[in-house]
Chain A
Amino acid sequence: MHEMALCESLLQLIEAEAQQHGFARVTTVYLEIGELAGVELAALKFCFDVVTKKTVAHNSKLRIVVVPGASWCMPCATQVAVKQRHQPCPHCGSHQLQVVAGDEMKIKELEVV
Chain B
Amino acid sequence: MCTVCGCSDSHEKHQHHHRPEDGCHHYGKGPARAHAPGISQAKMIQVERDILGKNDEYARANRARLARLGILSINLVSSPGSGKTTLLSRTLNELKAQMPLAVIEGDQETSRDAQRIRQTGVPAVQINTGKGCHLDAHQIGHAVTDLNLSGGEILMIENVGNLVCPAAFDLGEDFKVAILSTTEGEDKPIKYPDMFHAADLLLLNKIDLLPHLDFEIEQCMAFARQVNPGIRILALSASSGEGLDNWYQWLRLARQSKAIGSHQCNESQQANKEKPWPDRY
B53-A85 in contact (CB<8A): no
Residues of B179-217 contacting chain A, CB below 8 A:
189-190, 193-194, 197
Residues of A93-108 contacting chain B, CB below 8 A:
95-97, 99, 104-108
A86-B47 in contact (CB<8A): no
Known: A86-B227, A105-B52, A106-B50. A111 touches B44 (CB 8 A): yes
Please pick, from B41, B50, B229, the residue contacting A95 in the complex, using a CB distance under 8 A. Answer: B229
User: A5 near B: Cβ within 8 Å?
Assistant: yes
* Contact residues on A (Cβ < 8 Å of other chain), bracket: 35 or more
B193-A112 in contact (CB<8A): no
Residues of B44-82 contacting chain A, CB below 8 A:
44-55
Residues of A44-72 contacting chain B, CB below 8 A:
none
- 23 inter-chain pairs at a CB distance below 8 angstroms, sorted by A residue, are A5-B136, A9-B51, A13-B49, A13-B51, A13-B53, A36-B194, A38-B164, A38-B167, A38-B168, A84-B193, A86-B226, A86-B227, A95-B226, A105-B50, A107-B48, A107-B49, A107-B51, A109-B45, A109-B47, A111-B44, A112-B44, A113-B31, A113-B43
A85-B197 in contact (CB<8A): yes
Q: Tell me what chain A mostly uses at the interface: helix, strand, loop, or mixed.
A: mixed
Interface of A toward B, CB cutoff 8 Å: 1-2, 4-6, 9-10, 12-13, 17, 21, 23, 27-28, 31, 36-38, 84-86, 88, 95-97, 99, 104-113
Query: A70 to nearest B CB, angstroms?
Result: 15
User: B261 near A: Cβ within 8 Å?
Assistant: no
Residue from B45, B136, B225, B227 with most neighbouring chain A CB atoms (10 Å): B45
CA distance A104 to B50 in the complex (A): 8
A17-B47 in contact (CB<8A): yes
**Which residues of A are found within 8 Å of B193, using beta-carbon distances?**
84-86
The closest CB in chain A to the CB of B51 belongs to A105
B227-A113 in contact (CB<8A): no
User: B42 near A: Cβ within 8 Å?
Assistant: yes
The closest CB in chain A to the CB of B46 belongs to A109
Query: B68 to nearest A CB, angstroms?
Result: 27
User: B87 near A: Cβ within 8 Å?
Assistant: no
B51-A111 in contact (CB<8A): no
B225-A1 in contact (CB<8A): no
Query: B131 to nearest A CB, angstroms?
Result: 8
A2-B197 in contact (CB<8A): no
Having A5-B169, A108-B46, one finds 8 other A-B pairs with CB under 8 Å, namely A5-B132, A5-B134, A13-B53, A36-B194, A37-B168, A105-B50, A107-B47, A108-B47
B32-A1 in contact (CB<8A): no
User: B165 near A: Cβ within 8 Å?
Assistant: yes
Please pick, from A27, A38, A108, A111, the residue contacting B194 in the complex, using a CB distance under 8 A. Answer: A38
The closest CB in chain A to the CB of B189 belongs to A86
CA distance A86 to B187 in the complex (A): 11
Query: B40 to nearest A CB, angstroms?
Result: 8
